[in-house]
Amino acid sequence: MLKGKTVVLGVTGSIAAYKIASLASMLKKQGADVEVIMTKNATNFINPITFESLTGNKCLVDTFDRNFQFSVEHVALAKRASVFLIAPASANVIAKVAHGLADDMLTTTFLACQCPKIIAPAMNTRMYTNPILQDNLKICETYGMEVIAPADGYLACGDTGAGKMPEPEELFDYIVKAAAFPKDLAGKKILVTAGATMEAIDPVRYITNHSTGKMGYAVAKAAALRGAEVTLVSAHAEVKPPRFVKLVPVKSAREMFEAVTAAAADQDVIVKAAAVADYRPAEVSDEKVKKKDGDLSIRLERTDDILAWLGVHKRDGQFLCGFSMETQNMLENSRAKLKKKNLDMIVANNLKVEGAGFGTDTNVVTLITGDRETELPKLTKDEVAHRLLDTILEMTGETSPLGMTGKSSPEETGES
Ligand code: CTP
């Protein structure tokens, strides 16, 4: 994801500095060129050699190091940087970068950088809640830097409260958001539905399906990483919701209908990946249904077809994408849904094809539009999500500038 990107990590004097070693390693595994700049104080907490071993690059501390490759190393590095994260960011360094002070390698390089800048404060909670520090963070934000709120928890000094640096996985997600993808969906509002609805029978039991939410979550994540404002209406899912989206949790088809229809008018794109129940129990018992001799029947009634409602109420310029999971006659059935529900695209898959369907990390889909069928090879669900977004951009006349995920040749896609 980060191939060809230069990620600069600024490490300041805080016990959390040791966590940056695993962040550097995660970034390296994603193909990034990782440059670490430490303040002098940071070297009391972790040895620069740790970072040099992990990144393969010299760890920079001293602005006047005579072994530098370039005479003005901080400017050379600033020009190459795709993103600059200061983590852990001490109160002292935050004050400096808020006011443009540049008195060491870290702060001079930071000041010279024009790439996205991220700050992850880490300090004692009394320092963190000090209004001067808070004002400095606000100043950083007004200059366009992103501040990652510290977590609440037990701090190294023995106090408990806000000030704990987020885990490396969270820092990694911020870096990916800043640097991995062009922001070709910036300014777009995208609503995604995902997961399996649950239709109550009684307080103990419900009717549901095998959807794990992976495909819808991948679409929501990809759209957010490409700059869209994403609302994710999610029924039950078995994966962690992606960061950087507005999550609206729902349980039943009725709740999903209400959440989706309330937000629909505002959206530029709606992608309905959720597996919504077509039927629910006509009566829901308030008490647990006790077993009796003999069989039991549950009368089911139809739920609202949310996608059909969206098709009827689609406003000018809005793009509507549905999903279609079939076990037979995939193309005909999906084409019929595309037409009947007034969709712009339907993503069809056959549950019986190896690598497609519920729970897997891959999918094998055909993107069907009014005049085209594009059969994609087996891809990860993340890749499918990007292809789907590429197609939406193409169809709305806003082709992704970098061909995002590597546009497929007609031979590869089986386009017809
Ligand atoms: N869908 C919906 N509301 C429902 C049922 C389905 O919005 N009550 C949406 C799904 O989110 C999906 C699309 O409709 O995007 C297709 O779902 P699918 O179950 O494959 O098709 P159905 O139209 O329900 O038809 P059938 O079950 O007969 O295949």
Q: How far is the CA of 249 from the centre of ligand 1 (A)?
A: 19
Q: Which of 219, 211, 243 is nearest to 360 (CA)?
A: 211
Compute the distance between CA of residue 378 and CA of residue 224 in angstroms, rounded to an integer: 23
Contact 278, 256 (CB under 8 A): no
**pLDDT tens-digit readout, 129-140:** 999 999 999 999
**pLDDT tens-digit readout, 79-120:** 999 999 999 999 999 999 999 999 999 999 999 999 999 999
157 catalytic? Reply is: yes
Structure tokens, 291: 């077993």
Compute the distance between CA of residue 107 and CA of residue 102 in angstroms, rounded to an integer: 5
Residues annotated within the binding site are 278, 288, 323, 337, 341
HSE (side-chain half, CA atoms, 13 Å) at 354? 0
* In the block, residue with structure tokens 């849904």: 337
Q: Above 60 in pLDDT, residue 403?
A: no
**pLDDT tens-digit readout, 286-303:** 999 999 999 999 999 999
Q: How far is the CA of 347 from the centre of ligand 1 (A)?
A: 12
Question: Taking all residues of the chain, what is their mean pLDDT, rounded to a whole number?
Answer: 93
The pLDDT value recorded for residue 70 is 63
* Residue among 307, 312, 326, 346 to mutate when testing ligand 1 (max atoms within 8 A of CB): 307
Name the band, by pLDDT with cuts 50, 70 and 90, for residue 304.
Answer: very high
Contact 360, 215 (CB under 8 A): no
The pLDDT value recorded for residue 331 is 96
| Separation of first and last alpha carbons in the chain | 30
From the CA of 310, give the closest atom in ligand 1. 7
Q: How far is the CA of 365 from the centre of ligand 1 (A)?
A: 16
Q: 219-243 b/e with 16+ CB inside 10 Å = b?
A: bbbbbbbbbbbbbbbbbbbebebbe
The pLDDT value recorded for residue 400 is 55
Contact 45, 76 (CB under 8 A): no
The pLDDT value recorded for residue 199 is 98
* Residue among 232, 260, 300, 324 to mutate when testing ligand 1 (max atoms within 8 A of CB): 324
Compute the distance between CA of residue 326 and CA of residue 331 in angstroms, rounded to an integer: 9
From the CA of 306, give the closest atom in ligand 1. 7
Q: Whose CA is nearest to atom 12 of ligand 1?
A: 323
Q: Which amino acid is at 296?
A: L
Compute the distance between CA of residue 115 and CA of residue 183 in angstroms, rounded to an integer: 14
Contact 84, 113 (CB under 8 A): yes
Q: Which of 147, 145, 89, 152 is nearest to 122 (CA)?
A: 89
**pLDDT tens-digit readout, 212-252:** 999 999 999 999 999 999 999 999 999 999 999 999 999 99
Query: How would you write the chain as a 3-class SS string?
Result: CCCCCEEEEEECCCHHHHHHHHHHHHHHHCCCEEEEEECCHHHHCCCHHHHHHHHCCCCECCCCCCCCCCCCHHHHHHHHCCEEEEEEECHHHHHHHHHCCCCCHHHHHHHHCCCCEEEEECCCHHHHCCHHHHHHHHHHHHCCCEECCCEEEECCCCCEEEEECCCHHHHHHHHHHHHCCCCCCCCCEEEEEECECCEECCCCCEECCCCCCHHHHHHHHHHHHCCCEEEEEECECCCCCCCCCEEEECCCHHHHHHHHHHHHCCCCEEEECCECCCEEECCCCCCCCCCCCCCCCCCEEECCCHHHHHHHCCCCCCEEEEEEEECCCHHHHHHHHHHHCCCCEEEEEECCCCCCCCCCCEECEEEEECCCEEECCCEEHHHHHHHHHHHHHHHCCCCCCCCCCCCCCHHHHCCC
Say what percent of the chain tops pLDDT 90. 88
Residues ≥6 apart with Cβ < 8 Å to 411 = none
Q: How far is the CA of 399 from the centre of ligand 1 (A)?
A: 29
Instruction: List all residues whose CB is within 6 A of at least one atom of ligand 1.
Output: 253, 272, 274, 276, 278, 303, 305-307, 322-325, 337
Name the band, by pLDDT with cuts 50, 70 and 90, for residue 399.
Answer: low
Q: Which amino acid is at 19?
A: K
Say what percent of the chain tops pLDDT 70. 93
- Nearest 5°: the CA angle 152, 157, 160 is 30
* In the block, residue with structure tokens 């690598």: 355
Q: How far is the CA of 305 from the centre of ligand 1 (A)?
A: 7
Q: Which amino acid is at 337?
A: K
* Residue among 305, 333, 338, 341 to mutate when testing ligand 1 (max atoms within 8 A of CB): 305
Structure tokens, 308: 């059909």
Q: Above 90 in pLDDT, residue 285?
A: yes
Structure tokens, 217: 């979550």
- Of the residues 59, 115, 157, 321, only one is catalytic, namely 157
Residues ≥6 apart with Cβ < 8 Å to 363 = 215, 349, 355, 356, 357, 378, 379, 380, 381, 384
The pLDDT value recorded for residue 153 is 87
Residues annotated within the binding site for CTP are 278, 288, 323, 337, 341
From the CA of 309, give the closest atom in ligand 1. 7
Q: How far is the CA of 277 from the centre of ligand 1 (A)?
A: 8
Q: Whose CA is nearest to atom 6 of ligand 1?
A: 276
Compute the distance between CA of residue 404 and CA of residue 390 in angstroms, rounded to an integer: 7
Q: Which of 270, 280, 279 is nearest to 307 (CA)?
A: 270
